[in-house]
Structure 1
């Protein structure tokens, strides 16, 4: 017989919503604490800068709706495959209907008492779902640059850089999105990153495949000593993790705050593997479906049905993963590892893997290939699934 638990969910973004939804289905008492006045987390756009939002004004998803849905909750059929951030937010708002959310409520402290995790009120279980796209990683924050320097966290629209000479540092998803937008208004864009080797970019964009050594008063200096002058610099170097409500005795941030420790399977606290969970830490993944798999595994552990390995294996998880990585800062980065990871969680949790996940895997592989070949146009398509949803095809080109 499963006993009802009191469950605290911190954050009403996608991870928090799916955690709450499934915990309620399992019969638990759930409270969701959200520090802002609405659901959506990173999908909430704000014209303000320096706030929780990292969303820019015009943004299409990097994954299509066919690959970023919660199980049994499809996006509206009339939406294009690559959606606007407004459409994703509407999806999350609909998904959150009837959930017990306490808005404008900030969790300031989480402690443990007799092996139970608590906030101001007593809870048996805590799901930490506060996101990781709100604390910028900016190696050049203290530079003496005389122009405008900002992190992608505070980028909102291309018009702000009209007729400017702009240097963009970093060519990940945000770096490329911002490059393509700013190239429409700026006089010149210089994209600097080891990943800056795209075969097709606008004529106003110069790619420099290297690292930035420093930012000086007038621009940037590469590791080779080349200098690029700029009126503005946009730093697209990602984000660090931050948990202001957790004491360092409970959680430590390692490798430039890019690794959350000590966790088993990027999810369970090693000392509280059935009561303290961190949903949504993995990077380079399909996000929403992966969050749901993590939550299902966590709930299986809460119910006493899921499997955990020996304490030694749990505590050795981090060392084993670090041993196979060249860069420890990539501890939570999965990409191709995500499929095996989700299958493993499903097996240990004793629940059937989502059959449609194989279609998502195929879509993901197709999109990653197309993105490398044509980063400008890969989002300008729509997909159609076969009747059994095991295959897909490109059916038309979406409007820009």
Structure 2
């Protein structure tokens, strides 16, 4: 006989965000189907992922410490190093999926091509390149945003006759053997790749950047450096910034001492680069700092200070675009980086479209997506009520104003303060329960699909 269905949700992606979303929804009694392009869970952490989107390379390790990165519901093994390798993290995510019984709900080898809202039935239809089409009450987007390489725009003048590659395509240092290498960028991948290349490359590896960043060693005063930052989390961020910058100067000095450009913003404003080895290689002459690129001249790269170097290979460690290719512009506004979301989870037009992981954190990502997943699951299970639309929009506007004041125009809509945000979402769940109890909010009601039980 016909029965009112429980909520049925689609999750897109089985990386850390998608796995935590799947677990949280199952824990809350929601029926889940999780679509994954690759052949196993773990997303971008899996180096030989058949989805072809992983930027992981052989030497990749966490740049946030184990204790600040692990899931609250599934701690990493205590005997692991403070900064586990990408392969260990990939195994950890696979074990997470097995431990919590997620694997039967994961559909591997599925590329989602469209997610559309059917106005008549108010259901979401998810279609895949493999010819599948199913309807759901809600969709959770968890496809990540470190897989669509970004190159400099506009391109630099002139023609470069050597080889070029994006950091996304880097796998191991053998590609640099006996080549004159230039790495462009100042992020974590740029530093890792420059250090890797400094072993087999011919001559010093050149490291070019237009803007500087703070270089933070993985250990400060015998402890993981992000643990030191976490100890200051109760302080206002400006106070934390002053204290942390003082500690950093005492420990390693300023980047300018190593020939690098001065940071373009304060600590906790720009995401710092975490590296123990880059400063060592700079001081030993194995890596040489260069300013920004001015133009190309055949095999010569001319820099903004007028100097030039012969280069065989350029690695563009210039980041990634945020892309949600299966959503129409109606839902993304044409620019997912600027998409306003309540608590970085709920779409303002329709909260049955939710996002897990569409943020840029000052710390680790895994605890953030775990907290987001629990908030999403509380809503879809009817245990949490959203504030009304105007209040949601005011909250988004307030958060954007604060983020812009802190981070400027560098993806302010996506920015979150790790410690403040992870602490805020459990409070938000409690507030949503209170709204329901007071009758100031209504619980989520699943669309009544024509589904029957035998």
Give the TM-score band, short-chain normalised: 0.7 to 0.9
- With a CA cutoff of 8 Å and minimum separation of 6, indicate the structure with the bigger relative contact order: 2
What is the alpha-carbon root mean square deviation over aligned residues? 2.7
1:137 is the counterpart of 2:150: yes
Correspondence for 1:252 among 329, 333, 352: 333
Aligned residues: 344
Gaps of 5+ in 1: 352-400
Tell me, in whole angstroms, the C-alpha distance in 2 between the residues paired with 1:220 and 1:320.
44
1:85-142 per-residue CA deviation (whole Å, 9 max, x = no partner) reads 1111111111112321111111111011234433121111111111111100111696
Do the aligned partners of residues 262 and 192 (structure 1) sit closer, same or farther apart at CA in structure 2, a change above 3 Å counting? Answer: same
Q: Tell me what 2:241 maps to.
A: none
Tell me, in whole angstroms, the C-alpha distance in 2 between the residues paired with 1:225 and 1:312.
54
1:14-36 per-residue CA deviation (whole Å, 9 max, x = no partner) reads 11011001100111111111111
Bigger Rg, which one: 2
1:204 is the counterpart of 2:286: yes
Correspondence for 1:279 among 356, 378, 395: 356
Q: Tell me what 1:355 maps to.
A: none
SS at 1:329 equivalent: coil
SS at 1:96 equivalent: helix
Correspondence for 1:160 among 169, 175, 181: 175
Q: Tell me what 1:104 maps to.
A: 109
Do the aligned partners of residues 73 and 317 (structure 1) sit closer, same or farther apart at CA in structure 2, a change above 3 Å counting? Answer: same
By how many angstroms is 1:239 displaced?
A: 0.6
Tell me, in whole angstroms, the C-alpha distance in 2 between the residues paired with 1:168 and 1:150.
10
Correspondence for 2:212 among 188, 195, 216: 195
By how many angstroms is 1:307 displaced?
A: 4.5
Gaps of 5+ in 2: 127-132, 214-254, 259-278, 432-454
Do the aligned partners of residues 26 and 253 (structure 1) sit closer, same or farther apart at CA in structure 2, a change above 3 Å counting? Answer: same
Tell me, in whole angstroms, the C-alpha distance in 1 between the residues paired with 2:413 and 2:363.
10
Asked if the contact 1:252–1:261 (Cα under 8 Å) also holds between the matched residues in 2, the reply is yes
Q: What is the correspondence of 1:317-332 to structure 2 with a 5 Å cutoff? A: 317-324=395-402, 325=404, 327-331=408-412
Do the aligned partners of residues 299 and 347 (structure 1) sit closer, same or farther apart at CA in structure 2, a change above 3 Å counting? Answer: same
Tell me, in whole angstroms, the C-alpha distance in 2 between the residues paired with 1:226 and 1:171.
20
Q: Tell me what 1:176 maps to.
A: 191
Q: What is the correspondence of 1:1-400 to structure 2 with a 5 Å cutoff? A: 4-46=6-48, 51-97=52-98, 98-99=101-102, 100-114=105-119, 115-119=122-126, 120-139=133-152, 144-186=159-201, 187-193=203-209, 194-195=211-212, 197=255, 199=258, 200-202=279-281, 203-208=285-290, 210-254=291-335, 259-273=337-351, 275-283=352-360, 284-324=362-402, 325=404, 327-331=408-412, 334=415, 337-350=417-430
Tell me, in whole angstroms, the C-alpha distance in 2 between the residues paired with 1:123 and 1:37.
23
Asked if the contact 1:307–1:348 (Cα under 8 Å) also holds between the matched residues in 2, the reply is no
By how many angstroms is 1:228 displaced?
A: 3.6
Normalised to the residue count of structure 1, the TM-score between the two structures is 0.79
More helix by share: 2
1:235-257 per-residue CA deviation (whole Å, 9 max, x = no partner) reads 11111111111111111343xx6
By how many angstroms is 1:166 displaced?
A: 1.1
1:267-305 per-residue CA deviation (whole Å, 9 max, x = no partner) reads 2111112x1111112224311111111111112222343
Normalised to the residue count of structure 2, the TM-score between the two structures is 0.70
